[in-house]
């Protein structure tokens, strides 16, 4: 009997869960009622428009299973059409035909010598051709990404997500982008193509396993020196500055890239807590006042990479990335305990801490790639981490004397990693 009751209870909960789920269906059409060939279907949560789920349709039809359609927003983006948004009505999940309006963007006149497909699938990489297509007049590279299948930009345009992969790593001509401000200032007319890589190979760093977007510009084919400087300042109670400079040199078989960023900042916290404990005969009150002043002077990131093309099939690369941080924090922690209204205990501590952090990553890579898109990569990676912390602690308990303490901590880590990768195309390409 107990087993029967348990089974019925389980079936009840499963039925409830099934009843709460919703299958959202619809068809996306043009003003002429033709199916839109490529579009992103995005589900956002209200009220903050955070990303919930997404899919790509290549024939206008879509069907998505939602655990709950309550407080959800449907967003549709497609190249050449204005973005479409509507709050989902859980009682009406069959949306029927959704007609998109043409985007009100003036397309500059261009001479196209041959028709270039906008989207190509090559060896597991979605290639978005920008040069000689209508995408070149989109505006910035972020506008190109908005029209890219399987890609979603946050509302503040500070992060890029890939459906099913989360936040992605973005590379510009093979170098990782550290600030979205670089993409916001890059004109789409300077872009040759965008590569969307769901399963990145050893060609990219291990941290890009969640998905990689590689943006290739017209400058990537130029020889000589190229450089740029980015300066960003934020005005607040404590102003914050960000400085980044990139310098690259390419000549013949050699390529050199160097990047340096500097990001000093200061923060301050003033926190107050009050706890009350009631007993039959007394009421105890604990007042806690916490002041924290933190300052980072040398928050620097440095990277350099040297590449040498032995021939068309064989390439050697040597890279080094390092982060240096020197910071100081001052914390005052004051505690007062009262019984009813009478003070019974006081404890004040001050902690002055100085931190030094340095870690560096060295990469050596050999890569062989033939004309059949097969590739073999051998990588050797060394990571070194070192930290030093010195803290001076002053404590005073009630009327007792002042207690002085000093704490020191050092840490060192060394990691060696060897890696072998082989790439082999397994499915056919497509053009759109």
Residues 41, 147 share a domain? no
pTM: 0.57
Task: Identify whether residues 293 and 395 lie together within a single domain.
Answer: yes
Report which of 194, 201, 92, 104 is spatially closest to residue 149, judged by C-alpha positions.
194
Are the beta carbons of 134 and 108 closer than 8 angstroms?
Answer: no
> Does residue 333 share a domain with residue 298?
yes
- Which is more confidently placed, 222 or 164? 164
| Residue at which a domain ends, from 168, 192, 218 | 218
CATH of the domain at 149: 2.170.130.10
Average of per-residue pLDDT across 341-364: 88
Ranges assigned E (strand) in 108-172: 119-122, 125-129, 151-153, 160-162, 166-167, 169-172
Indicate the pLDDT class of residue 426, thresholds 50, 70 and 90. Answer: low
How confident is the model over 77-95, as a mean pLDDT?
A: 82
Q: How many domains does the chain have?
A: 3
C-alpha separations of 104 from 80, 83, 138, 408, 423 in Å: 9, 11, 11, 63, 43
Q: 96 near 61, Cβ under 8 Å?
A: no
Residues 154, 208 within the same domain:
yes
On whether the CB atoms of residues 37 and 432 are closer than 8 A, the answer is yes
What's the average model confidence in pLDDT over 226-240? 78
Go through 22-57 and write b for each residue having 16 or more CB atoms within 10 A of its CB, e for each that does not: bebebbbbbeeeeebbbbbbbbbeeeeeebebbbeb
C-alpha closest to that of 172 among 145, 210, 209: 145
> For residue 114, is it within any domain?
no
Q: Is 113 exposed, middle or buried (0-12, 13-18, 19+ CB in 10 A)?
A: exposed
430 located within any domain: no
User: Could you list the residue range(s) of the whole structural domain that residue 149 is in?
Assistant: 119-218
- Helix count (H) and strand count (E) of the chain? 3, 27
Q: Is residue 110 part of a domain?
A: no
- Do the domain assignments include residue 346? yes
For 310, the 3-state DSSP assignment is coil
Structural contact between residues 358 and 324, judged by C-beta atoms closer than 8 angstroms? yes
Last residue of a domain, one of 175, 190, 218: 218
Over 90: is that where the pLDDT of 94 sits? no
185 found inside a domain: yes
| Whole-number average pLDDT of the chain | 80
From 50, 68, 99, give the residue that closes a domain. Answer: 99
Statement to judge: residues 231 and 204 lie in one domain:
no
Among 9-13, 45-49, 86-90, 309-313, the least confident range = 9-13
The confidence band for 366, taking pLDDT boundaries of 50, 70 and 90, is very high
Q: What are phi and psi of 142, to 5 degrees?
A: -65, -35
- Distance (Å, whole) CA 40 – CA 430: 18
Residue 432 lies in a domain: no
Q: How far from chain centre, in Å, is Cα 398?
A: 49
Query: What's the CA gap between 60 and 29, in Å, rounded?
Result: 7
Q: Is residue 107 part of a domain?
A: no
pLDDT above 90: residue 364: yes
Q: How do residues 106-164 score in pLDDT, each as one tens digit?
A: 444 444 444 567 777 776 788 888 888 777 777 888 888 887 888 888 877 778 888 88
The verdict on 195 and 272 lying in the same domain is: no
Q: How confident is the model at residue 10 (pLDDT cuts 50, 70, 90)?
A: very low
State the Cα–Cα distance between residues 316 and 310, nearest whole angstrom.
Answer: 7
By the 10 Å C-beta count (0-12 exposed, 13-18 middle, 19+ buried), 230 is classed as middle
Residues 334/348, Cβ–Cβ less than 8 Å: yes
pLDDT at position 316 over 90: yes
- What pLDDT sits at residue 298? 75
261 and 134 within one domain: no
CA distance 397 to 407: 20
Which tokens belong to 230? 């980015």
Q: How far is CA 339 from CA 273, 276, 342, 399, in A?
A: 17, 10, 5, 18
What is the Cα–Cα distance from 401 to 375, expressed in whole angstroms?
A: 70
Residues 245 and 146 in one domain: no
CATH number at residue 35: 2.60.40.10
Lowest mean pLDDT among 30-34, 176-180, 247-251: 176-180
- Residue 17 class from Cβ within 10 Å (0-12 exposed, 13-18 middle, 19+ buried)? exposed
Q: Do 209 and 230 reside in the same domain of the chain?
A: no
Task: Give Dmax (Cα) for the chain.
Answer: 91
Is 67 among the domain residues? yes
Could you tell me what percent of the chain has a pLDDT over 90?
11
Question: Is the pLDDT assigned to residue 200 strictly greater than 70?
Answer: yes
Distance CA 151, CA 129 (A): 15
Tokens representing 297? 């002077």
Residues 324 and 208 in one domain: no
Residue 419 and residue 336 share a domain = yes
Least confident of 197-206, 339-348, 392-401, 418-427: 197-206
- Beta strands per DSSP E along 154-282: 160-162, 166-167, 169-172, 175-176, 191-197, 212-217, 224-234, 240-251, 254-262, 265-278
Residue 18 has pLDDT above 50, yes or no: no
Flag whether pLDDT at 90 surpasses 50.
yes
Whether residues 72 and 146 share a domain: the answer is no
pLDDT at site 362: 93
| Region 160-187 average pLDDT | 79
């Amino acid at each position: 009997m107990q087993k029967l009751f348990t089974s019925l209870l389980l079936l009840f909960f499963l039925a409830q869960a099934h009843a709460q789920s919703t299958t959202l269906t619809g068809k996306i059409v043009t003003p002429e009622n033709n199916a839109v060939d490529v579009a992103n279907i995005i589900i956002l949560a209200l009220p903050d428009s955070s990303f919930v789920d997404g899919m790509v349709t290549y024939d206008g039809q879509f069907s998505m299973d939602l655990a709950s359609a309550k407080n959800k927003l449907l967003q549709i983006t497609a190249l050449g059409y204005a973005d479409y948004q509507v709050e989902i009505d859980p009682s009406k999940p069959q949306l029927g035909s959704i007609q998109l309006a043409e985007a009100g963007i003036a397309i500059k006149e261009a001479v196209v010598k041959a028709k270039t497909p906008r989207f190509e699938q090559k060896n597991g990489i979605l290639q978005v051709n920008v040069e000689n297509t209508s995408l070149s007049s989109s505006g910035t590279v972020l506008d190109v990404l908005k029209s890219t299948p399987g890609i979603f930009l946050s509302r503040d345009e500070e992060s890029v997500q890939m459906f099913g992969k989360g936040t992605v790593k973005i590379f510009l001509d093979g170098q990782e982008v550290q600030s979205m401000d670089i993409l916001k200032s890059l004109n789409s007319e300077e872009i040759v193509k965008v590569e969307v890589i769901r399963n990145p190979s050893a060609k990219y760093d291990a941290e890009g396993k969640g998905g990689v977007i590689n943006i290739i510009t017209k400058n990537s084919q130029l020889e000589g020196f190229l450089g740029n400087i980015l300066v960003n300042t934020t005005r607040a109670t404590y102003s914050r500055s960000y400085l980044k400079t990139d310098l690259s040199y390419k000549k013949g078989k050699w390529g050199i890239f160097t990047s340096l960023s500097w990001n000093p900042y200061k923060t301050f916290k003033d926190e107050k807590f009050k706890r009350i404990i009631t007993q039959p005969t007394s009421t105890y009150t604990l007042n806690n006042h916490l002041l924290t002043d933190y300052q980072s002077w040398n928050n620097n990131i440095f990277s350099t990479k040297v590449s040498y093309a032995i021939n068309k099939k064989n390439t050697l690369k040597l890279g080094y990335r390092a982060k240096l941080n020197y910071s100081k924090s001052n914390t005052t922690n004051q505690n007062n305990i009262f019984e009813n209204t009478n003070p019974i205990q006081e404890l004040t501590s001050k902690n002055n801490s100085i931190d030094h952090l340095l870690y560096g990553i060295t990469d050596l890579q050999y890569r062989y790639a033939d004309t059949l898109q097969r590739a073999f990569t051998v990588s050797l990676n060394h990571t070194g981490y070192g930290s030093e912390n010195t803290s001076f602690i002053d404590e005073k308990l009630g009327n007792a004397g002042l207690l002085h303490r000093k704490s020191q901590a050092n840490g060192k880590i060394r990691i060696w990693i060897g890696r072998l990768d082989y790439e082999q195309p397994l499915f056919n390409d497509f053009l759109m």
